[in-house]
Amino acid sequence: MIASMMLAAINWHSVLFLVFAGLACAFAVAVVVADNIVRMAFYLVLSLGSTAGLFFLAGAEFIGSMQLMIYVGGTLVLLVFGVMLTAQAPFISIKTSTNDRVLAGVVGAALLVVLLQAAFSVEAWRRPGVGEVANPSATPLGMALLGVRVDDPPAGTSPSLVRSGYLLPFEIVSVHLLVVLVGAAYLARAKRRRIPRGIETADVAASGGPR
Amino acid sequence: MADFLINTVGLPEWLAWVITAGVAAALILNVIAGGALVFIWAERKIAARIQDRLGPTRTGGRFGWLQSLADGIKLLGKEDLMPEGADGMLFQLAPYVSFCASFCAFIALPFAFDFVGQRLNVGVFFVVAVLGLEVFGVILAGYASASKWSLFGAMREAAQVVSYEVPLGMCVVVPVMLAGSMDLVTIAEKQAGWVTNWYLFHDPFTFVIFWVYVTCAVASVNRAPFDLAEAESELVAGFHTEYSGMRWSFFFMAEYGSMFLVSALAALLFMGGWNGPIPVAELLGLSAGTGDTANYFVRLIGCFNLMGKATLGVLVMMWVRWTLPRLRIDQVMTTCLKYCTPIAAAMFAGAMFWQLALPGGVMRGMSRPAGEIREGWLEGPGGRAAARGTAVPAAAVPPKKLMQVQP
């Protein structure tokens, strides 16, 4: 009886929050401690996945999915490049030098102090509530990115009072990304050497086929 | 169900939620595992028939229908081997990573209106994002095996899946744009009614982009003709060369699970979801308001519809596999970058302008109310209901932006 009352008194939302937060922190530490690049990437994926779990727990499904797609999916590409660029021998281990460890420790400690200060300066933390966001939807967000705010003003407000959306930042970001893509394509373009055709094929054959 | 357990049975809240989640998880697990059993048998039979053979005939009496069960028992009894030079932890975990990704995507997949593990308002996005993680297990397996065949297979798979996510995302965006929502339930609900309401027949552009989606889906789940990761003529067995026994079968369950998943996604996005070609339930007068039993019956029909369509998709994939030869890696990349991506982009633009000019689609007027589509768009900042319930072309924008971030 007492046990069941105790179980009922627990805020399971907080418990799950602690579980996910603990997993995220633990795997983040594991990334630092591990010495194999693929294991590092694996722990990083688990850590970022736990963070996505935190977002889902908070009801922010869109951000959670974005976290999965961009960060976890991005780590995938990171992993491939990590393997391609470092794999001189199977399972190469990367030792961090003591200097680097000290430097990273100082930077990390400084960041921790700032974050702790910020965390303790909050007067009262609200406890996470279940279903606090009533019917969350990504549609207002999408409309706002197109410059139309559907979430805030009630119907019938005069157009001058309607707040503007995020069309300009959205356009700037998309143009920026386009420039980055074009730049990446330019950098990755094969440098063509001007050599006679016969020599080129012989060269390619000698180096083990085209890459 | 949780409400029922709390209010009627009187269980404490936490236990009710745990049981609810457990039941949903068990059901999804059974869809994957049971599906794999059936599909492996079907694949053997279809492959055999296409190659003018008989396939399994004896196990379990006629048609060899117990063949996959026998295979399963054989796999259980196999020794669990691990290469000496392998990275033990990653080698052992990799199959489960693949399987977990496949399983997680099923959580947000609706089988009928409220037969869904967890209804997410960004369901499409979630499913596509999680599906992309399956490749992670494959890469880990390839790397941890300490075998050159495996590593080659894994690298091929990584290049292929990352490339094909781009056109796949563009294809997925089109139904999202037409429905004005990323919620899979809403998207399928919008296609209710006769077969002409399916987004497949919405306009010529969606019809073309469906086939682009099929191509990309086959490529993204690594089925022939895109199974470069396990090209047995060159790479022995690719990324699972070193695996045996249960771990190997987990890769296969993940593969068949993903096949079912992308087929179900195709059904939900383009082929009306759980709405059959003929609205049987509506014609019989079984609408949502006619009581609980009827309601449940309608859901069950819907569930059968969706499963049928998804199974059809898987069978088509098998047909394709045993008909077409495997592509070379450069041909795979050419297909993605030179054909699928530009076609998908052009069709996306086309569907957008079509929606602007003729919002009702080709077969407008067949039970789709006129003017419904552009409501939120015309009113602009006109209250929540207009934006949430109706089709708003604008909602397609966030995923497009994300697709640009991804590569």
Can you tell me the mean pLDDT for B213-234? 80
A10/B129 Cβ within 8 A: no
What number of CA atoms fall less than 13 Å from residue B101's CA on the CB side?
30
User: ipTM of this predicted complex?
Assistant: 0.74
Structurally, chain A folds into a number of domains equal to: 2
Whether residues B124 and B52 fall in one domain: no
pLDDT tens for B293-314 read: 777 777 788 888 888 888 898 8
For residue B326 the two structure tokens come to 């495997």
Residues 138-157 of A with CB under 8 A from B: 138-143, 145-146, 148-151, 153-155, 157
Final residue of a structural domain among B62, B77, B92:
B77
Residue B331: inside a domain: yes
* Shared domain check, A27 and A86: yes
Return the residue in A10, A13, A143, A166 with the most chain B beta carbons within 10 A, the one to mutate for interface testing: A143
- On whether residue B59 sits in a domain, the answer given is yes
Instruction: Look up the CATH number of the domain holding residue A43.
Output: 1.20.120.1200
For residue B393, cis peptide bond before it (omega within 30 degrees of 0): no
Q: Nearest CA to B219 among B131, B104, B309?
A: B131
Chain A CA closest to residue B133: A73
Judged by CB atoms closer than 8 Å, whether chains meet at A12 and B133 is answered as no
Q: Which B residues 82-111 touch A at CB under 8 Å?
A: 85, 87, 89-90, 93
The answer on pLDDT for B94 being more than 80 is: yes
Instruction: Please list the pLDDT of chain A residue by residue as tens digits (211 residues).
Output: 566 666 666 667 778 888 889 999 899 888 888 877 778 888 888 898 899 888 888 777 888 888 888 888 778 777 777 777 766 665 566 677 788 888 988 998 999 999 998 888 877 766 555 555 555 567 777 777 777 666 555 555 565 555 667 788 888 988 999 999 888 888 877 666 666 655 555 554 454 444 4
For residues B106 and B257, the answer to whether their CB atoms sit within 8 Å is yes
B393/B280 same-domain check? yes
Considering the domain architecture, whether residues B100 and B118 belong to the same structural domain is answered as: yes
Whether residues A145 and B386 touch (CB distance < 8 A) is answered with: no
pLDDT score for B394: 42
- Provide the token pair at A127: 């406890």
Whether residues A10 and A91 share a domain: the answer is yes
Task: Residue A7: list chain B partners with CB under 8 A.
Answer: 12, 14
Task: Determine, yes or no, domain membership for B28.
Answer: yes
Check residue A176 and give its pLDDT.
93
Helical H runs in A58-122?
61-66, 73-86, 98-120
Are A90 and A9 contained in the same domain? Answer: yes
Question: Helix, strand or coil for residue B118?
Answer: coil
What is the tens place of the pLDDT at every residue in A106-149? 998 999 999 998 888 877 766 555 555 555 567 777 777 777 66
Task: Record the tokens describing residue B299, joined without a space.
Answer: 């859901």
Q: What are the E-state strand segments in chain A? A: none
A68 interfacial to chain B (CB closer than 8 Å): yes
Residues 375-394 of B with CB under 8 A from A: 376, 379-384, 386-388, 392, 394
Range of the structural domain that residue B382 is part of: 82-405
Choose among A10, A39, A170: nearest Cβ to B90.
Answer: A39
Q: Is A192 left (phi over 0), alpha (psi -120 to 50) or beta?
A: beta
Are the beta carbons of A61 and B155 separated by less than 8 Å? no
Pairwise CB contact (< 8 Å): A90 & B135: no
Confirm whether B235 is domain-assigned.
Answer: yes
Kindly state whether A110 is in contact with chain B, defined as any CB-CB distance less than 8 angstroms: no
Residue type, B100: C
pLDDT at B404: 38
Structure token pair of residue B156? 């091929």
Tell me if B2 is assigned to some domain. no
For residue A168, give its domain range. Answer: 137-206
Chain B residue closest in CA terms to A7: B14
| Chain B residues 164-183 within an 8 A CB cutoff of chain A | 165, 180-183
Average pLDDT of chain B is 76
In a domain, B12, yes or no: no
Residues B90 and B43 both lie in one domain: no
CA distance B286 to A55: 39
Classify each residue of B325-354 as buried b or exposed e, where b means 16 or more C-beta atoms within 10 Å of its C-beta: ebbebeebbebbeeebbebbeebbebbbeb
Contact (CB<8Å) A70/B143 = no
**Phi/psi at B110 (nearest 5 deg)?**
-80, 135
Give the Cα separation of B245 and B95 in Å (integer). 11
Last residue of a domain, one of A82, A101, A120: A101
Residue partners of B209: CB distance under 8 A and separation at least 6: B170, B171, B174, B343, B344, B347, B348, B351
Task: Report how far apart, in Å, the C-alpha atoms of A128 and of each of A58, A122, A124, B353, B364 are.
Answer: 7, 15, 12, 44, 46
Check CB contact under 8 Å for A39 and B381: no
- Distance linking the first and last C-alpha atoms of chain B: 41
Does residue A65 lie in a domain region? yes
Q: Decide if A117 is inside a domain.
A: no
**Do A93 and A142 sit in the same domain of this protein?**
no
Tell me, yes or no, whether B286 and B193 share the same domain: yes
Chain A environment of B404 (Cβ under 8 Å): 174, 177-178, 181
Same domain? A84 vs A168: no
Tell me, yes or no, whether B30 and B106 share the same domain: no
The amino acid that residue B352 corresponds to is M
Q: How many separate domains does chain B show? A: 2
Residues B68 and B142 in one domain: no
Q: Between chains, do A70 and B383 touch, taking CB under 8 Å as contact? A: no
In a domain, B65, yes or no: yes
Question: Is the Cβ of B136 closer than 8 Å to some Cβ of chain A?
Answer: yes
Amino acid at B97: V
B7 in a structural domain: no
Verify that A8 and A94 share a domain, yes or no.
Answer: yes
